[in-house]
Amino acid sequence: MKLYCTQRGRDVEVIVNDEMTLYVCGVTPYDSAHTGHLAMAAVYDVIARRLRARGARVRVVRNITDVDDPLLPRAEQLNIPYWDLVEAEIAQWMADTRRLGLACDVEPRASEHIDGMITAIEEMAAAGLTYEMDGTVYFRVSRDRAYGGLSHYDEAQMVAAARERGGDPDRSGKEAPLDFVLWQPSRPGEPEYASPFGRGRPGWHIGCSVMSRRHCGPRVDIHGGGADLVFPHHECEAAQDRGMDGSRVGIWFHSALLDYRGEKMSKSRGNIVLARDLLDKHDPMVVRLAALGSYSPRRGGEWRDGHVDEAAERLDRWRRAARAESGPAPERFEEAFFARLDDNVELPDAIGVADELAGDILAGRGSDARGPVALRSFLKVLGLDGATEDRGR
Q: Which of 96-100, 261-265, 273-277 has the lowest mean pLDDT?
A: 261-265
Same domain flag for 112 and 248: yes
Model confidence pTM above 0.85: yes
DSSP letter for each residue of 187-217: PTTS--B--TT-SBEE-TTHHHHHHHHHHHT
For residue 34, what are the β-bridge partners? 274
Beta bridge partners, 19, equal 57
Separation between Cα atoms, residue 212 and residue 315, nearest integer Å: 36
- Split at pLDDT 50, 70, 90, the class of 393 is very low
Same domain, 245 and 346: no
| Residue-level pLDDT at 390 | 41
- CATH code, domain with 245: 3.40.50.620
Q: What is the pLDDT of residue 215?
A: 98
pLDDT in tens, 104-160: 999 999 999 999 999 999 999 999 999 999 999 999 999 999 999 999 999 999 999
Three-state SS at 132: strand
- Specify the DSSP class assigned to residue 111: G
Which pairing describes strands 248-255 and 219-226: parallel, antiparallel, or unpaired? Answer: parallel
Query: Of 231, 260, 289, at which residue does a domain stop?
Result: 260
Strands annotated E in 121-172: 130-133, 136-139
Question: Is the residue at 67 inside a domain?
Answer: yes
Whether the per-residue pLDDT at 268 is higher than 90: the answer is: no
Residue 233, domain member (yes or no): yes
The count of structural domains within the chain is 2
Burial state string for 234-266 with b = 16 or more CB within 10 A and e = fewer than 16: bbbbbbbbbbbebbebbbbbbbbbbbbeeebbb
- Number of CB atoms found within 10 A of residue 179's CB: 22
Strand partners, 201: 184
Distance CA 87, CA 95 (A): 12
Distance CA 191, CA 188 (A): 9
Residues 255 and 360 in one domain: no
